[in-house]
């Protein structure tokens, strides 16, 4: 069981690092888009649209990484095992 815990911990750490990279990329790209938008002199702030669209993806990644951490999957698996034992 110690090896299983180690592997699960490695997976969680990788998931967290993947999210951090995703967030950092999002922030850098959005800063570049804001600069482009403001340097070109366009009064319309069009960068908001890609920020909102990609932001939904970042929020989804955050939820999957930090909120829904697989506990539900474990609970469902336990229920399925209980059903199998009853049969």
The more confident residue out of 17 and 84 is 17
Quote the CA–CA distance of 29 and 11 in Å, as a whole number.
27
Residue 68, Ramachandran bin (φ over 0: left; ψ between -120 and 50: alpha; else beta): beta
pLDDT in tens, 35-70: 999 999 878 999 999 999 999 999 999 999 988 877
Mean pLDDT value across the chain: 89
Domain definitions of the chain by residue range: 2-86
């Amino acid at each position: 069981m110690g090896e299983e815990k180690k592997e699960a911990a490695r997976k969680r750490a990788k998931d967290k690092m993947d999210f951090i990279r995703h967030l950092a990329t999002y922030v850098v790209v959005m800063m570049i888009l804001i600069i482009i938008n403001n340097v070109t002199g366009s009064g319309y702030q069009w960068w908001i649209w890609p920020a909102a669209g990609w932001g939904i993806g970042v929020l989804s990644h955050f939820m999957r990484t930090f909120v829904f951490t697989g506990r539900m999957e474990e609970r469902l698996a336990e229920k399925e095992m209980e059903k199998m034992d009853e049969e």
